[in-house]
Amino acid sequence: MYFLEPPETHAFSLYHDYTESREGVDSYINVVRPGSTVSNPSARVLDTGEPLKTEILKGAAIGAAKIDIGEAVRADTEIVVIRFPPVKKGHSLRLRIAETYTDPSRYRLDGGLLVFVCAEPLDTEAHAARLVDKVLKLRIFADAAGKMNRSVQDVGGGLLVVSQFTLAADTSGGNRPSFTGAAPPALRLRARAGATAADRRRPRGSPASPP
């Protein structure tokens, strides 16, 4: 599960579950993608809630700890290490792991729009096309006079389209929101909306991006 942090932070947080069933294994290692940095790692055992020790190692510290990451260790190589008791034969350990990643060169939105999209059961790809058409033409950027008179196309901005099923939340029936109004094709519609937006923002005569 991913959570976008404010654009100016160039960061996102995530959590994911992992099951280890190999006898004797006593740690989980995540190699951070070059250019990114990791912070706030945490982990716990899903079955008991027990917190686990986490640490961030970089460069020479990885070699000093005699950790094999399956690739050459550079000065800027960074890893997250999560330690736990060795897995017993025939047993398994379920973990929930959380981390925050920052990378100004990749995680950014330059003068554009962050668009949260949720599809509902009666939505179609035609709805997605109309949505994109509207978003691209909304005059919500300031012109030279300071008036909201320019579209994202006019300013050459980008679109970051994010699938967000919680937009379909129904809170009318009590204190627990229902999300049954969010359609299963939400992710497909989001992808279609993104592709349509890219097509319409591409200058005439330029080749389409490869699939």
What structural domains does the chain harbor?
A: 2-102 (no CATH), 113-201 (3.50.80.10)
Instruction: Residue 115: name the closest of 73, 70, 164, 178 by CA.
Output: 164
Residues 110-160: pLDDT tens digits? Answer: 678 888 888 888 888 788 888 888 988 999 999 999 999 999 889 888 777
Known catalytic residue at 164: yes
Query: Is 165 one of the annotated active-site residues of the chain?
Result: yes
- Kindly name the residue from 3, 9, 124, 166 that is annotated as catalytic: 166
Catalytic residue among 54, 77, 141, 165: 165
Asked about 153 being catalytic, the answer comes back as: no
Task: Output the pLDDT for position 50.
Answer: 96
Band (37; pLDDT cuts 50, 70, 90): very high
Tokens of 4: 């976008």
Q: How far is CA 204 from the centre of its chain?
A: 31
What's the mean per-residue pLDDT of the chain? 84
- Chain position carrying tokens 């994010």: 162
Q: How far apart are CA 62 and CA 74, in angstroms?
A: 10
Could you give the CA distance from residue 153 to residue 159 in angstroms, rounded to a whole number?
10
Helices and strands in the chain: count of H runs, count of E runs:
3, 11
